[in-house]
Amino acid sequence: MGNSILKKAFSNKVGDIIFLALCAAIFTASMCHWIVDMSYKYVPSQVGTMHVDFMWLFWLETSAVIYYVFKYFYLQKKVIIFDFGELLLTQILVLAAVLDYNKESYAAVSYAWMLPMVYMVGKYAIGRDEYINQRIRWIYMSLAMGALAITILDYYNFYRYYGVEDTFTGAWFGFWTHEYQDRCTMGFGLVMVISGLGYYCYQNKKMSLKISFVIAVIFSQVWAFSTTSRTEPLILLITISICLIMFSVDKWFSDTKRYRKFLVKICLIFVGIFCVVLSAFLCNAFDLYDIYSKSRWADEGGILRNVRFSMDWEGFVAMINNPLEDYEITKGLPKPHSMLLEYGRVYGFTIYVGLVLFRLLIIKDAILLSVKKTYDAKIKYLLIPLFICVNLYYAMEPNGYARRYFWMPGLLISGMIRGWLDNDSDKTIRNKG
């Protein structure tokens, strides 16, 4: 009787319903990311026009994790693989929460359990079976489409108030809350769409999805040019480059010697073209550099000499010199422009080192997935560019700390990569057995 009840409770139909609810929650949270900002509960002056308690999201995440852990590891007797990164992330954020509580910064305390839970959702919800790639695609679509929706609405709000030709001389109000936000935050939803271009054009068989992604990427570049954002074009180049590199490596080890020679010729041609174009630009051939230097894209040094680099270096030095205190408050020094360095500024050098170690662990996971050559490993053409582009955003923008819910997509992606590797290891162990 007990086994019969358990089988019904953990049947495929029940699992599909829970997964559907989880995807709906991911879509909602990415489209209405301000829901997970707790500050309005403790600082009345920060209340906007629309705010909703986000506890429903936490309880749904918790229920989903418990369900999948019990299903895969207890009922189906899957192998439990120790994840030091998961433990490290939890310990770091609990320590940060203790420091926040002592400083009476109660709004930030909740993220000690919120952020590790997102990593675990990505790790466990994708499952431990042959349908893992399908679940990854559904979670990705839920995350990317919700983020794209709010970005479109925010851009619409900007154009409605300032027009297409206006520069960022005034406040830019978010669509939902009508509160001031910076343009980097507004464009975050485009990151996940652009990074999925390679996979959905190369691997996906549905022409409608391919066309939809190409159109979305075209619009992202139009928006980037009209708002002087340099992030979207850079992410597009990185996505194309990463996909081509992984494709070339896969073909190099699987195809004939003749194809390898052809691949070498193509690579040399591309490298040659790149060197010629770069040389022409640096030598100001056809007045290319003059045109660039007079454009809005060269503001504050452009991409190669961006002010963020100097801000981050100065922030790192300040953190080393003040390892146990917030140097902005105690010394009046300027803040950096990086998520990890912002954590180091607020919580000290210990938290910074812990997060760097966690990042090294998830980078190691991404590298392991990128070199996999099995047929089901082609999901790497989606996850690896997505992982790199989102973490590039965290490396250059402070929003991952200042608005911690922006770190949730990156943790969800990292959890899915870790979960895929665990599933691959599980299959290897079963085959050997």
Place of tokens 């070498």: 264
* pLDDT score recorded for residue 255: 67
Cα separation values, 166 from 6, 159, 169, 211, 348, Å = 61, 9, 8, 30, 40
| Nearest alpha carbon to residue 196 among 219, 221, 213, 220 | 213
Low-confidence ranges of the chain (pLDDT < 70): 1-9, 38-54, 163-172, 182-184, 255-256, 296-305, 398-401, 427-433
DSSP string, 141-200: HHHHHHHHHHHHHHHHHHHHHH-TT--S-S--B-TTT--B--HHHHTHHHHHHHTTHHHH
Residue with tokens 């990074």: 195
For residue 121, what pLDDT is reported? 93
Cα 186 to chain centroid, rounded? 14
The DSSP result for 320-351, as a single string, is HHSTTS-HHHHH-PPP-SSHHHHHHHHH-HHH
Q: What is the pLDDT of residue 111?
A: 85
With beta carbons less than 8 A apart as the criterion, state whether 417 and 383 touch: yes
Q: Across the chain, which distance is largest between two alpha carbons, in Å?
A: 81
φ/ψ (deg, to 5) at 57: -70, -40
Buried b (16+ CB within 10 A) or exposed e, 239-273: beebbeebeeebeeeeeeeeeeeebeeeeeeeeee
Which tokens hold the place of 422? 């665990």
Q: Are 417 and 387 in contact (CB under 8 A)?
A: yes
The end-to-end CA distance of the chain, in Å, is 31
Residues in the chain: 433
Token output for 279:
């040389």
Distances (CA, A) of 99 to 284, 325, 326, 347: 53, 11, 12, 7
Cα 229 to chain centroid, rounded? 18
Q: How far apart are CA 389 and CA 377, in angstroms?
A: 19
Distance of CA 319 to the CA centre of its chain: 25
Q: Which residues contact 100 (CB under 8 A, 6 or more apart)?
A: 106, 108, 109
